[in-house]
Amino acid sequence: MTGVRVAGTGLTPFGNAPERTSRDLFAEASSAAFADSGVPREDVEAVFYGNFMGELAEHQGHQGPLMAEAAGVRAPATRYESACASSGMAVRDAVMRVRNGEHDVVLVGGAERMTNLGTAGATEALAIAADELWEVRAGMTFPGAYALMAKAYFDEFGGGREDLAHVAVKNHENALTNEKAQYQKSIEVAEVLDAPTVSSPLGLYDACPLSDGASALVLTSEAYAEEHDIDAPVSITGTGQGGDRMALHDREFLARSPAAREAGEEAYTDAGIDAGDVDVAEVHDCFTIAEVLALEALDLEPVGEGITAARDGRTTADGDTPINLSGGLKAKGHPVGATGASQIAEVSKLLAGTHPNSEHVADATTGVAHNAGGTVASAAVHVLEVAK
């Protein structure tokens, strides 16, 4: 099998842009990725595109070929849907296709248009990532679902709202230098605790925002990068996927994420590393409790101890293992179809030394990106390493 290099990355700003279509957003992100890579569009052999709610937000299905056209590419294109893990799954398939020699150059990414639906409409659209028969009809929303998970965690392991507040404060601080981030402002623990309750014990600052945006990556084989003298210092060396029961009431655990653990273990084994080798990570913090669960599932924190990681400084920018130096979904934003590929872009830039927060991980050689769907019924994990 051949290695897979990240030749170029492109992101739009994440935020409130209800007038922009997904095709417009993806055109911008892919153009930036091509410019960053130096790879000509005509060399792309396939497009892998993640999107979750295009039919609801834009009355648009069959988006693969549409986005290839928007990117200026004439190549077979496929759309991937796995809720908030849509482009993470697209990256996984793209990596495997390059590895097995089927392609030398691929374009992979995702986009989502959400804010045009308004808060109520977007909340309703996002809810279809839950079990329609047993959860959605009963009025379940994702703030409510993650609130149940937070309560279960507190009951089993301890901790409380103030611990979660430190996660939000940390990620907002990390986003200050990220020009693509939706929220570039500091917050204090007291502000988090005083904010309106969304679904107890979670408040407004425990939740990621609704976002519009797109991400794109140009991935190549090692042979192509070397033959064409492409500056691609970071490789994707591990990929993993996990799954769990859809509805929370069918789960064995509420305070753990077996799908993420399964995906992480597969990715670590694939890359030939273990959790102790990870220097930096971007994890799926759609809610503050989700970051805690991700850290434990990836063995970056012992089970039951992830709740204190931000408060005690272990996951801050200058901590032992910085987490979400981009600002995470919490502050950078979460245009759901774009998130997985955007995490890969952030880790790649951190390892390459081109990210505004690279100074905090100057000696880092190994990073992880963790992308989850719904209440983590699906998960994709990727390992990135500085190419040897």
Asked if residue 194 belongs to a domain, the reply is no
Instruction: Give a yes or no: residue 193 inside a domain.
Output: no
Write down the pLDDT at residue 2. Answer: 74
165, 355, 14, 167: CA torsion to nearest 10:
-10
- Report whether 288 contacts 315 (CB < 8 A): no
Q: Which domain does 299 fall in, by range?
A: 4-118+209-386
Strand order of the β-sheet with 46-50 is 77-80, 46-50, 105-112, 213-221, 4-11, 234-243, 378-386, 366-373, 280-282
Instruction: Establish if 311 belongs to a structural domain.
Output: yes
**Of residues 166, 334, 370, 382, which has the active-site annotation?**
334
Q: Which residues contact 178 (CB under 8 A, 6 or more apart)?
A: 184, 326, 327, 332, 356, 357
d(CA 105, CA 211): 29
Residue 99: the pLDDT is: 97
**With contact defined as beta carbons under 8 Å apart, do 372 and 289 qualify?**
no
The reply to whether 65 falls in a domain is yes
pLDDT of residue 1: 60
Residue 230 in domain:
yes
Per-residue pLDDT tens listing for the chain (388 residues): 679 999 999 999 999 999 999 999 999 999 999 999 999 999 999 999 999 999 999 999 999 999 999 999 999 999 999 999 999 999 999 999 999 999 999 999 999 999 999 999 999 999 999 999 999 999 999 999 999 999 999 999 999 999 999 999 999 999 999 999 999 999 999 999 999 999 999 999 999 999 999 999 999 999 999 999 999 999 999 999 999 999 999 999 999 999 999 999 999 999 999 999 999 999 999 999 999 999 999 999 999 999 999 999 999 999 999 999 999 999 999 999 999 999 999 999 999 999 999 999 999 999 999 999 999 999 999 999 999 8
Helix (H, G, I), strand (E, B) or coil at 225: helix
Q: Report if residue 48 sits inside a domain.
A: yes
**CATH classification of the domain holding 378:** 3.40.47.10
Secondary element (H or E) of residue 72 = none
- Whether 137 is in a domain gets the answer no
84 catalytic per annotation? yes
Does the residue 378 lie in any domain?
A: yes
Query: How many structural domains compose the chain?
Result: 1
284 is catalytic: no
